[in-house]
Amino acid sequence: MRIRPILPSLYRLRLGLVNAFLIEDENALILIDAGYPGYTGKILRAVREVGGADKKLRHIFVTHCHWDHSGSLEEVRRATDARVYMHAADAAKTRAGETRRPWQPTPGWFNDLLFQVFVKNARERVEPCEVDVEVHDGETLPLAGGLQVIHTPGHCAGQTALLWHRHGGVLFVGDAASNIPNLRLSIVHEDLAQARASLRKLVAVEFQHACFGHGRPILGRAKQRFSGRFGGK
C-alpha cells in the first residue's frame, strides 16, 4: 500500500505503538524519530517510496533518548549516512546507547496501567549512535523552510519539539504530550512540574497542526485544542 501524506510533503510512519515522520524537502528527506529497534526496514522502505531515486534521507532529528524513539536510529543512520540532530541534554546518552532516565507514571489510573504494561520494563540500552548536531532551544534549523527547536523537558530532560514553518505551523510534539485516546500529558514524566511548564510554553507558539510520538495527529485548530487542554495549568 502506498504511503500517503497527512499534509503536503509530510508523511506519518506508524512503527508499532510509536510514530515517526518524514518531511519531503526540495532535495532531501528529513526523518523525525526512529522508533523501536527492529523498524529499520520499514523506515527505509518509506524513504525509498517517498524519495524515489532523487531524494535521499539526509537528516534525522530525534526528539529524545527513550528507546521507542531512538531504537532503530543507528541502523538507519548507517544505511543512509544521514546527519543526526538532538538536544544537547540527551546527546551523550544516545552516543552511549543509553535510553533510560528516572521516570514515574503521570498521575491517574490510565497512565499507571499503561506504565505497567508498556513502560516499566522498557529496554535500557540500544545500539549507540553518534549525534552530529547538538541543538538548543530557540534556534532554527535551515531545513525544509525552517524547523524551530523548542526545548520541552519534563517527560525527559532532552525532550524537544520542532515547529515546521509551513502549512500555518506544524508542531512535532514528540512526547511532551500524547493523543491517546485524546490530548493529554505523556504517560510518564521525569519532572511533572517541568512537563506542565513545557506545555504552557507550547501553547504560546503559533501552529495549526500537531504531530505526536504517540497517537493521531491533530490536523487543523491544534493550537486551540492545546490552549483548551493545557493553557491554564
23-69 per-position pLDDT tens digit: 999 899 999 999 999 999 999 999 999 999 889 999 999 999 999 99
Say what the pLDDT of residue 86 is: 98
Say what the pLDDT of residue 225 is: 96
- Cα angle 14, 18, 21; round to 5: 55
Say yes or no to pLDDT of 151 above 90.
yes
Residue 124's pLDDT band (cuts 50, 70, 90): confident
Residue 119's pLDDT band (cuts 50, 70, 90): confident
64-89 per-position pLDDT tens digit: 999 999 999 999 999 999 999 999 99
What does the pLDDT average to over 158-165?
98
Region for residue 111 given its phi and psi (left: phi exceeds 0; alpha: psi -120 to 50; beta: otherwise): alpha
Say what the pLDDT of residue 232 is: 58
Cis amide prior to 102 (ω within 30 degrees): no
What does the pLDDT average to over 203-224?
97
Show Cβ contacts of residue 63 under 8 Å, excluding neighbours closer than 6 positions.
32, 33, 69, 159, 160, 161, 162, 172, 174, 175, 213
- For the ranges 43-47, 116-120, 149-153, 164-168, which has the lowest average pLDDT? 116-120
3-class secondary structure for 187-214? CEECCHHHHHHHHHHHHCCCCCEEEECC
Pairing of strands 170-174, 209-212: parallel
C-alpha–C-alpha distance, residues 142 and 146, integer Å: 5
Whole-model pTM: value is 0.96
> Do residues 50 and 29 make contact, with C-beta atoms less than 8 angstroms apart?
yes
169-199 per-position pLDDT tens digit: 999 999 999 999 999 999 999 999 999 999 9
195-204 per-position pLDDT tens digit: 999 999 999 9
| Helices and strands (H, E) in the chain, number of each type | 7, 17
Angle between helices 222-230 and 192-203 (to 10 degrees): 140
Instruction: Cell numbers for 103, please give them.
Output: 521516570
What does the pLDDT average to over 9-26?
96
Say what the pLDDT of residue 233 is: 46
